[in-house]
Amino acid sequence: MNRLKVLDVYSLRLLLTLLMLSGISLSVGISSWLSTRDAKHQIEELFDAQMLQTAKMLELFYHDEADFKHPQSQPQVLHVPDSQVSSFAEKSDALKLAYEHKLAFQIWSEAGQALVFSDNIGREPLTKFEQGYSKRVFEGELWHVFSFLSAKYKVWIITAQQDEVRQELVSQIMHNAVIVPLIVVPLTLLIVSLLFYILFRPLKTFERELMARSPNDLTPLAMSLPKELVPVRLALNQYISSIARFIARERRFSADAAHELKTPLSVIKLHQQGLEGLVGDDPAQHIHLAAIDAGVKHMSHTVEQLLLLARVDSIAELNVQSYALLPMVEDALNQLMPLITEYEWNIDVDAGLILKCDRFYWLVVLKNIIENACKYSPIETEISISAVQVAAGVEIKIADRGQGMTSEQIANATERFYRVNENEGIGAGLGLSICHHIIGLHQGQLTIASREQAGLAVTLFLPQ
């Protein structure tokens, strides 16, 4: 049972949505990570090539401006103004280009004398005069440095670039790689949820039809379904057909058995009455005859209930007319004589209260409910019968001060062959089941509730 409760919480739609969302998120995340990694690698290669190209351009253009063979005592200094531009998103004009202050260069003689340099990097050499790429921290900033020895002019040309330039470009790429999934994933989730709603709509319709069916409705399911659900419908129809055949066989057996038992019981009763006139005053013989009489009565009552159940199950149409309720209550009490004489009765039924019902079957309901109240109540206790007109119909309440019922017993009370106590009373557990079926045919409702102090209250509602 606990396992079934766990399975009932399982939602196929939710699971598919989560799996698809997880798959999309994972694929987008991996794709974004790979794109960012490749972009970072490409950016490094691009800027390294740019630094190499800049060094070669400095070799080409600066040899006419500086006398490298006869260097001066003071090096030439290129002033790099701060453009006050700190990111790619900000604008700069043609005279103050963005990021110019984050690029630097130096030209040194082969002997280690500074010839030309930009003033944003200082007078110290950025490298140990070894050709190739390297990194150096200057004034708290990480610089990428490229060193190049000009074989023609015998000078070292050094170009440098702040790491911030590369990192900001990588950050922009990563930002775009994150923003796009943040937009795509919720939109995809919305589209997937809409698609799942459309795809699962036949299943929800199927569920609603099953939930709306009456427990007594054993007709095959005939609604149109997708191909994937057709086997489910066929399997359910097979189960429904099997249950219908089983119930039909059960009803036929009950009716046939009741009819077959009725005649032997009459014969037994007749011979029991004949034996009573033949036996003398021997108490032992009277005890046996009393046991036979009690058994015959119990069996006769069960047969009558089975016959009535078979008749109720085969009802095709009710003969509904208007009847006064009070005479029906009096008829039910009269038919239960002398059983009712051992109890106190409180009847509060308006003589003008009218019911629209099938009188024969509604009288059966009243008799069964009143008989149960007598059967399970102590002698000389009060049993009350009241009726009131409500907005939608009539409510009839039959209350006793008997042993009452637990919530579990109340839940099972209308099931066939269910008895509260197998060792007490006469009956087969069919009375409330028959009443429940008859009231259902009248579109009414049967409610059972325990009373506060002791006893049980059965309320019958009949719409008018």
Determine the residue type at 287.
I
pLDDT one-digit tens code per residue, 61-116 = 765 555 545 555 677 777 766 655 555 445 545 445 556 678 888 888 888 888 88
Cα–Cα distance, 309 to 314 (Å, whole number): 9
CB 292 within 8 A of CB 330: no
Indicate the SS3 state at residue 151: coil
Q: In this model, does residue 55 exceed pLDDT 90? A: no
pLDDT one-digit tens code per residue, 338-355 = 888 899 999 999 988 999
Cα–Cα distance, 335 to 328 (Å, whole number): 11
CB 132 within 8 A of CB 147: yes
Domains 227-312 and 318-463 share a fold: no
Mean pLDDT, to the nearest integer, of 314-322?
Answer: 80
Cα–Cα distance, 280 to 285 (Å, whole number): 8
CB 448 within 8 A of CB 413: yes
Determine the residue type at 389.
Q
Q: What is the pLDDT at residue 4?
A: 44
The torsion angles phi and psi of 10, rounded to 5 degrees, stand at -65, 130
Query: Which residues are CB-contacts of 311 (< 8 A; sequence separation ≥ 6)?
Result: none
Token duo for residue 134: 């390297």
Cis peptide before 338 (omega within 30 of 0): yes
pLDDT one-digit tens code per residue, 157-197 = 889 988 888 888 888 777 777 777 778 778 877 888 888 78
Token duo for residue 347: 């009847």
The stretches of 336-376 forming alpha helices (DSSP H) are 359-375
Token duo for residue 55: 């060094």
Mean pLDDT, to the nearest integer, of 360-367?
Answer: 90
Cα–Cα distance, 180 to 192 (Å, whole number): 18
CA distances from 459 to 195, 384, 451 (A): 48, 12, 12
CA distances from 167 to 35, 138, 170, 172, 237 (A): 15, 17, 5, 9, 67
Radius of gyration (Cα) for the chain, nearest Å? 49
Q: Which residue has the tokens 């059972």?
A: 448
Q: What is the pLDDT at residue 193?
A: 80
CB 371 within 8 A of CB 339: yes
**Top-tier CATH class for 227-312:** mainly alpha
Cα–Cα distance, 248 to 257 (Å, whole number): 14
Q: What is the mean pLDDT of the chain?
A: 80
Q: What is the pLDDT at residue 146?
A: 92
Mean pLDDT, to the nearest integer, of 429-441?
Answer: 85
Mean pLDDT, to the nearest integer, of 249-256?
Answer: 72
Range name among 175-184, 217-226, 332-341, 350-359 with the lowest pLDDT average: 175-184
Range name among 6-15, 61-70, 109-118, 309-318 with the lowest pLDDT average: 61-70
The stretches of 376-452 forming alpha helices (DSSP H) are 407-412, 431-441
CB 115 within 8 A of CB 68: yes
Domain limits of the chain?
A: 1-80+96-211, 227-312, 318-463
**Smallest Cα–Cα separation from 349: which of 324, 331, 370?**
324
Domain 318-463 belongs to what topology? Heat Shock Protein 90 (3.30.565)
